[in-house]
């Protein structure tokens, strides 16, 4: 008598490789058709079967073509019905992102995660598969004056590592240090250097963009990571959100924002050293911070719902940044942020 795993393997092999019907598989295994359906589903959820969907080519989709041409990214545009709630958009986009990341995880791969609402949703849709020697490393700190951040960020990291039987590397530092000098001192600590060395070896970076406002506002701005006066100062300085808790403007500028001297996530210049950088976005509230992220060149793969993708293209076409502005389109006389 076959074990359930053996039966699932045979059923999946006949169904996906031999193109057999469920009725034919049921007769071969001596089980009911409904049992075959459950075996095939089990083969998928256990990671025995990996289903991949090639992204639509640029020529086949105007939105994807425009994103690719404008920003030089590999777009994965997810069709979502008009009027769908942002939570529903996030779930559908996260499903696609989770499957993509799962197909890229091979033995020895290092996956860097920037914790957040979006990445948490993506991790929930990872397809389990064994990737011996792989690692999952936290890219940005999670502690704030109220909490250690471990229950939230730690659960995301652990779930991702369990999906691939990977080793997990936590990053036990705050999201933002109180003083830039403290950060500089911590970066010299050997325990922190060890984690940062793993971050530098990352093959894939997975992150979302945080919006300063909106129905799905970033955890950074809604959970006590910044003081109210800090947030007010960021708005005054034109900050629209963040990538990996590094704050940025819509034009992609970020190096003169003083609070970034205390941020623990990798700035776009460091992110760009990672070969594959997948940004996952759902909801039009994320348009401005996403534009900022795209303009830094920090994104190689973009998973996004179609409505938000169209909004990004329309926003990018607006004559908002003229020749009278400085590098990256930012006003040369902009004040230094908090």
Q: Establish if 338 belongs to a structural domain.
A: no
Taking only the tens place, the pLDDT of each residue in 73-91 is 999 988 887 777 888 889 9
Q: 12: domain CATH number? A: 1.10.10.60
Q: Establish if 335 belongs to a structural domain.
A: no
Q: Establish if 302 belongs to a structural domain.
A: yes
pTM of the predicted model, to two decimals? 0.78
Whole-number Cα distances in Å, 170 to 29, 143, 225, 227: 46, 12, 18, 25
Same-domain check for residues 173 and 219 = yes
pLDDT of 253 reads 96
Residue 159 φ then ψ, to 5°: -65, -40
CA 294, CA 299: separation in Å to the nearest integer? 6
Q: Establish if 106 belongs to a structural domain.
A: yes
Taking only the tens place, the pLDDT of each residue in 215-273 is 655 767 766 678 888 888 898 999 999 999 999 999 999 999 999 999 999 999 999 99
Cβ atoms 226, 145 nearer than 8 A: no
CA 103, CA 16: separation in Å to the nearest integer? 17
Residue 201 φ then ψ, to 5°: -90, 0
Cβ atoms 271, 248 nearer than 8 A: no
Q: How many domains does the chain have?
A: 2
Same-domain check for residues 135 and 223 = yes
**Token output for 50:** 């990996």
Same-domain check for residues 72 and 18 = no
Same-domain check for residues 93 and 18 = no
Helix/strand/coil for 172:
coil
Q: Establish if 52 belongs to a structural domain.
A: no
Boundaries of domain holding 283: 58-329
Q: Establish if 172 belongs to a structural domain.
A: yes
Same-domain check for residues 107 and 26 = no
Cβ atoms 53, 76 nearer than 8 A: no
Q: 216: domain CATH number? A: 3.40.50.1360
**Token output for 199:** 């971050």
Same-domain check for residues 191 and 94 = yes
pLDDT of 167 reads 96
User: Given phi > 0 = left and psi -120 to 50 = alpha, else beta, which region is 38?
Assistant: alpha
Helix/strand/coil for 165:
coil
């Amino acid at each position: 008598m076959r074990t359930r795993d053996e039966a699932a393997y045979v059923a999946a092999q006949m169904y996906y490789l031999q193109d057999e019907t469920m009725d034919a598989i049921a007769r071969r295994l001596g089980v009911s058709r409904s049992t075959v359906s459950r075996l095939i589903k089990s083969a998928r959820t256990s990671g025995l079967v990996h289903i991949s969907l090639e992204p639509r080519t640029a020529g086949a989709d105007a939105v994807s073509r425009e994103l690719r041409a404008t920003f030089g990214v590999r777009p994965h545009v997810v069709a979502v019905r008009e009027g769908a709630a942002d939570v529903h958009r996030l779930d559908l986009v996260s499903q696609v992102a989770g499957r993509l990341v799962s197909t890229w995880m091979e033995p020895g791969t290092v996956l860097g995660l920037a914790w957040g609402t979006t990445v948490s949703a993506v991790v929930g849709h990872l397809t389990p598969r064994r990737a011996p020697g792989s690692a999952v490393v936290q890219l940005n700190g999670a502690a704030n004056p109220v909490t250690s951040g471990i229950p939230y960020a730690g659960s995301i990291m652990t779930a991702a590592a369990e999906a691939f039987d990977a080793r997990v590397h936590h990053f036990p530092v705050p999201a933002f240090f109180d003083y830039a000098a403290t950060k500089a001192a911590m970066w010299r600590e050997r325990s922190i250097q060890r984690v940062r060395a793993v971050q530098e070896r990352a093959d894939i970076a997975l992150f979302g963009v945080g919006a300063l406002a909106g129905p799905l506002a970033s955890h950074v701005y809604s959970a006590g990571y910044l003081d109210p006066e800090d947030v007010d100062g960021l708005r005054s300085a034109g900050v629209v959100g963040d990538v990996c808790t590094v704050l940025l403007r819509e034009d992609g500028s970020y190096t003169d924002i003083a609070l970034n001297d205390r941020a623990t996530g990798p700035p776009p210049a460091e992110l760009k050293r990672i070969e594959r950088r997948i940004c996952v976005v759902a909801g039009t509230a994320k348009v401005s911070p996403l534009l900022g992220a795209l303009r830094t060149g920090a994104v190689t793969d973009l998973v996004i719902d179609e409505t938000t993708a169209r909004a990004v293209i329309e926003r990018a076409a607006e004559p908002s940044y003229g020749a009278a502005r400085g590098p990256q389109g930012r006003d040369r006389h902009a004040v230094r942020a908090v």
